[in-house]
Chains A and B, each alone.
Chain A
Amino acid sequence: MDITEYIKLVFTDYTLRTITLGTAILGAVTGMLGSFAVLRKQSLLGDAISHAALPGIAISFLITGAKDSNVLLLGALVSGLIGTFWIRGIIKKTHLKSDTALGLILSLFFGFGMLLLTFIQKQPNANQAGLDKYLFGQAATLIESDVWLMAIVTGACLVVLLLFWKEFKILLFDADYTKTLGFNTKFIDILITTFIVLAIVLGLQTVGVVLMSAMLLAPAAAARQWTNSLGIMVFLAALFGAFSGVFGTAISASQNNLSTGPVIVIVASVFVLISFIFSPSRGLLFKQIRFIKNRRDLQLHKTLAFMHHIAKTHENISHPHTVKILNNFQGYTRSTLQKLVHKNYVRLDGNMWSLTEEGFKTASNLYNQQSDNNE
């Protein structure tokens, strides 16, 4: 299937359209909220919340006996929220660190959820098959009403984000200070956390309990690499998330039988990988290039300074010297000399070199302003 054909199919085929839209919206909202989780150093919170949602799904099935996804997700929401507030409680009331609290709640709730799932499977009820799709997600089960629900939550999230942008930003940066300005930090905190839980719960059906946290973290981690502005970061994270959804769906739809959730997560991880390597300011590649260039520049300056040191003992600064003297200087190479000539700092005449006026001036001013630059 070629690309144009696929795009046509996205617009005409009901199932494909629903899944593409659903995963795109999901990616956007989790990317957006994930930025906040990442910046608050609560990356693992998403993992804990999604795992904590599992018993809620099982319990609401046990109570209602039906597999209506909205009812199950409501259960997931409740147990996800309970898990979140227990985590906060543990951190606040005990000496345990947050990673311990997250790990505890994650495994406790997930274990309980798995126990309930196996219990349900032993029930003489034909309806129970398919509950385990919440473990790894099954995008194919998305229907239009699910997508509507996602769109509504995303819209609400966007409105809240725009309204309380300033409050979110300052709380993320400096919570204590925010409190002294008279803001109710608890309210802002609960608002953010509630939306994070909501977004995670919405994604369970598509991506599943186990992989959900990647949806939250990967787009945000990728976005952070490209910008130093919170607004742009949130926007980029939403964009990366949405594209992960669309591409992931496309790949899994065109390669039969590939499960959508994991493919989306892998696409999102590719965004992370590319961002980590190729981001101009924070990426590994350009950092390394800058590092090497910087070393070369320093070597060049060092050579120039050495020449300056020799030249200044003579009355005429452009007095020629033999190239041989430079061999005593560690860090000198033929190519550095060429570069100095190229920059018009040095004149080369056979085996003799001499500093130009410009070269002399540059050398005497080298790193004099260092303190200004650093301070």
Chain B
Amino acid sequence: MSRIGVFICHCGENISRTVDVERVAQEVGRLPGVAFSTDYKYMCSDPGQTLVKKAIQEQKLSHVVVAACSPRMHEKTFRKAVEAAGLNPFLCEMANIREHCSWVHENREEATVKAIDIVGMMVERVKKNRILPTITVPVTKRALVIGGGIAGIQAALDIADCGHEVILVEREPSIGGHMAQLSETFPTLDCSQCIMTPKMVDVANHPKIKLYTYSEIELVEGYIGNFQVTIKKKARSVDEDKCTGCGVCMTKCPQKKIPNKFDQNIGMRTAIYVPFPQAVPNTPVIDRDNCTWFKTGKCGVCQKVCGPGAIDFEQQDTLIVEAVGAIVVSTGFDLYTIAEKPKGSPIKGYGEFGHGKIPDVIDGMTFERLASASGPTGGKILRPSDGKEPKQIVFIQCVGSRAREKGISYCSKVCCMYTAKHTMLYHHKVHDGQAYVFFMDARTPGKSYDEFWRRSIEEEEAVYIRGMVSRLYQKGDKIVVMGSDISVGVQVEIEADMVVLATAIQPQKGADALAQKLGISYDKYHFYSEAHAKLRPVECATAGIYLAGACQGPKDIPETVSQASAAAAKVMALFSRNQMEREPIVARVREAGCVGCFACKKVCAYGAVEEKEIRDRQGNLIKVVAYVNPGVCAGCGTCQATCPSKSVELDGYTDEQIIAMIEAL
């Protein structure tokens, strides 16, 4: 007979406000098998845990049910406490009476009845729980970092500096990401290239970092400590080992008018190219869509001029498999291109702003390239249409962001600050120019941020107009901006030479597809979800995968760098052990019942099911049965629901346990 202890938590007032915890403790105390039941204000606190441990020893409890918050929150905490008191941790279950009960119901009677049901269900379940031994698995002390922007670079450097091997995968031909595109950075106005490129060189030179650029993640298999990742290295058409990066090929390439994505398509590049001169690695890529050789089979100038003979038109995409123990995802962001309305997306475009139709209506990143010393204009602010210097410039904030009716309700976080920076850069470069900013609010939380914003108004003469723009149109070579100034209640019309839109930050295209490969969750905008918004902000719910940077949500550079270092610290903590414990929630085959149909093998996504021969003492084959490799099994239980003879069981979720729960209702 079991001696179950039930511990009901008040969670301060979070549970006791709507659930009559004393009554729950009383009613549950009457259930068969329950030997002890009590309530306490904070069960997860030190005295609360001590209460559990003491009760286990004094009352000789065989099983424990803690009725408190979600098991996703504190299951580990209480299992540890139970283990410390000498019980197997898997004899402890949590009944979720906070997230699933007290927080979602107002009626005290209904909530109390529901809480009694939930606890009763878990009491019946825990009776059927078995002692499960912890499984230890080896840890591969190599990390994979996906995305080579500032987040990925920081995480890779931190992990590598700790002595562990890092594989850094970047989709573009060079690492650097969006930070490499920026001109100067707020709030110190130091040049982005000057602080970014040394880090990029550090990555290239680090003996512990293996860099795959122009590469993408094809497949991710395995689990924490033991991932196998297949990386697709796209054909560069240039042999990286032979190329010296002299750049002669680029000067001789006859295709010179291809818009450069790095320069937001206002600068031009050749068909064989590096995205920018400071690229790492400094090995060019042939853009096969625009290369004369690949289009017509003639030309081959680059091959003729290349001294080391590095050009290889025959190169193919290659697949590389790497074994890693942890993964940092740092795929960053993309700007909401309001010119093209995304297909099938709930997001509505901003036709009224003429982006994509009026050439001098540009986005913030394009302004960065115009202001950058290494940009297509050499750092001069010039209009894309006619190359003239704009004397009146209008900045519009919150384009896409905080616009529920347009499909995005979140704040992109960095635009207030970078627009303030843009007005300063403009004022520094065009002394007789005037900058206007249409804004909703200025959001400047951050060290020295508000001072920076004030400076743009007080010292750099930017005119801030609180209100939104309703319409833009071209009139001669001017753009007429019509908006309202709500602080004085008048309509404003400005004849501008150039308009800069602070468009919303969105996750990279394909963020959802990568999440599906990794098995991590994402929100409706495709930002990746962290395991806990406050307490586990850099970890995914999937063990062994960590997040850094804007792929999780809009972030500025200091925040991104902090999160990247935090993710690296998590990886290093994992790598500090040779072996790690994993939950013993794995499937097991009851060989006596197995008929060897291997339906389980067909549905197992992990290839954990193997064939095992059963022989008698003489060595005669009796039958072939299924065997689940516990190291590979991820514990989804699909095999169990599929097995026609019910001969495979998932520990922790056996039919017995589930049926007991249903019968309790």
Say if A and B assemble together: no
Residues of chain B touching chain A, judged by Cβ–Cβ distance below 8 Å, are none
Residues of chain A touching chain B, judged by Cβ–Cβ distance below 8 Å, are none
